[in-house]
Amino acid sequence: EATVLIQADQTVTISMVGPILLNLLSDLELERKKSERVYLMCDALISSLKTRFGGFYKHFSIETDNCKVKINTNANTSCLYGDPIFLMSAVVDGRFKFQWINDCTLLSDLTKTNIISTIKQCLIEASIKLNSQNKFDNADVEIITEEARSDDSNSPSSDKEKKKVYFQL
C-alpha cells in the first residue's frame, strides 16, 4: 500500500515519507513480537530500515546501532533522512498533522511530546527564515524601483524611445 501511495502521480510524496517509515518500523516490531516464525524476517527488515533510514529514526530516539542483522553500509543513505523536512512536511500535510506521531505505539508519551515540540520549533524557525527572506526580496524590489525612477529622469522623453531603451538586448 505504501509503495502505491508513493508512486501516485497526483500526490505529494515527501509528506508521506515520515509517516510511512515510522508506521513500517512500528508494524515490524509488533509482528516480530507476535510470532517466532517471522522473527528472523522481521529482524532483517528492521535492520534494513534502520540502516537506510537511521537519520530519520534518530529524531525519535530510536536506536539504530543495535541491528542484529548486519547490512552492507557502503551505500548508506541514513544521513540524508536526518533532515527535519521529513518531519515538518508530514505535519503541514492535512492528512497527517501530528496524528501519525500520536498513533505510533513504538514511542513513549515523553518521546512523542519531545518530537512534537521539536517539530513545532523547526516550523517556527523555517517560518521566521522565510519571512525574513521575503523582507529582503521586497527590499530588493524597492531598490530596483528607486533605481528605475532615477533612470527615468535620464531616459529619453518619448514613449517609443523609452520602450526601445528598456527592451533593447
* Predicted local distance difference test score (pLDDT) of residue 40: 87
Using 70 as the pLDDT threshold, list the residues of the chain that sit under it: 1-12, 64-76, 134-169
C-alpha span between 142 and 127 (Å, rounded): 23
Cβ-proximal residues to 28 (8 Å cutoff; 6+ apart), any chain: 42, 45, 46, 49
* Predicted local distance difference test score (pLDDT) of residue 6: 64
Query: pTM value?
Result: 0.67
Q: How far apart are the first and last CA of the chain?
A: 54
- Count of residues in the chain: 169
* Predicted local distance difference test score (pLDDT) of residue 72: 53
* Predicted local distance difference test score (pLDDT) of residue 34: 86
* Predicted local distance difference test score (pLDDT) of residue 117: 94
* Predicted local distance difference test score (pLDDT) of residue 132: 79
The CA angle 54-43-24, to the nearest 5 degrees, is: 55
Q: Where are the domains of the chain?
A: 2-105
pLDDT (tens digit, 9 = 90+) per residue, 62-84? 876 655 555 555 456 778 888 88
